[in-house]
Homo-oligomer: A and B are copies of this chain.
Amino acid sequence: MKLTPDANGTFAIAPTPFFADGRLDEASIDALVDFYGQVGCSGITVLGILGEAPKLTGQESLDVATRFIRRAAGRPVVVGVSAPGFAAMRTLARGAMDAGAAAVMIAPPPNLRTDDQITTYFRQAVEAIGEDVPWVLQDYPLTLSVIMTSVVIRRIVTDNPSCVMLKHEDWPGLEKISALRGFQKDGSLRPLSILTGNGGLFLDFEMERGADGAMTGYAFPDMLVDVVRLSKEGKRDAAHDLFDAHLPLMRYEQQQGVGLAVRKYVLHKRGVIASDAQRKPGSSMTPTARAEVDYLLSRVARVDKRARLA
List chain A positions with a Cβ less than 8 A from chain B. 53-60, 83-88, 91, 110, 113-117, 120-121, 124, 127-128, 146-149, 151-152, 171-172, 174-175, 178, 201-202, 204-205, 208-209, 240, 243-244, 247-248, 251-252, 255-258, 279-281, 286, 288-289, 292, 299
Contact A280-B60, Cβ < 8 Å, known A55-B87, A251-B251: no
Interface centre among A54, A58, A87, A251, by most B CB within 10 Å?
A87
28 cross-chain CB contacts under 8 A: A54-B88, A55-B85, A56-B85, A56-B87, A56-B88, A58-B88, A86-B280, A113-B147, A114-B114, A114-B148, A114-B149, A115-B115, A120-B281, A124-B280, A127-B280, A128-B280, A171-B255, A174-B292, A175-B286, A175-B289, A201-B251, A205-B252, A240-B248, A244-B244, A244-B247, A244-B299, A247-B247, A247-B248
B149 in contact with A116 (CB, 8 Å):
yes
B292 in contact with A205 (CB, 8 Å):
yes
Having A178-B288, A208-B292, one finds 9 other A-B pairs with CB under 8 Å, namely A54-B85, A55-B85, A56-B85, A58-B58, A60-B87, A84-B84, A175-B289, A209-B288, A251-B251
Cβ–Cβ < 8 Å partners of A209 in chain B: 288
Cβ–Cβ < 8 Å partners of A91 in chain B: 57
Cβ–Cβ < 8 Å partners of A299 in chain B: 240, 244
A174 in contact with B289 (CB, 8 Å):
yes
Cβ–Cβ < 8 Å partners of A178 in chain B: 286, 288
Interface centre among A85, A124, A128, by most B CB within 10 Å?
A85
Q: Return A56 CB to nearest CB of chain B, in Å.
A: 6
CA gap between A204 and B286 in the complex, in Å: 18
Q: Which residue of B lies closest to A57 (CB)?
A: B87
Number of copies of this chain that the complex holds = 4
Q: Return A34 CB to nearest CB of chain B, in Å.
A: 27
**4 interchain residue pairs of minimum CB distance:** A172-B255, A54-B85, A54-B84, A55-B85
Cβ–Cβ < 8 Å partners of A115 in chain B: 114-115
B114 in contact with A281 (CB, 8 Å):
no
CA gap between A57 and B252 in the complex, in Å: 38
Cβ–Cβ < 8 Å partners of A57 in chain B: 58, 87-88, 91
Cβ–Cβ < 8 Å partners of A86 in chain B: 55, 280-281
Cβ–Cβ < 8 Å partners of A152 in chain B: 114
Cβ–Cβ < 8 Å partners of A148 in chain B: 114
A147 in contact with B292 (CB, 8 Å):
no
Q: Return A23 CB to nearest CB of chain B, in Å.
A: 11
CA gap between A274 and B87 in the complex, in Å: 22
A172 in contact with B286 (CB, 8 Å):
no
CA gap between A83 and B269 in the complex, in Å: 33
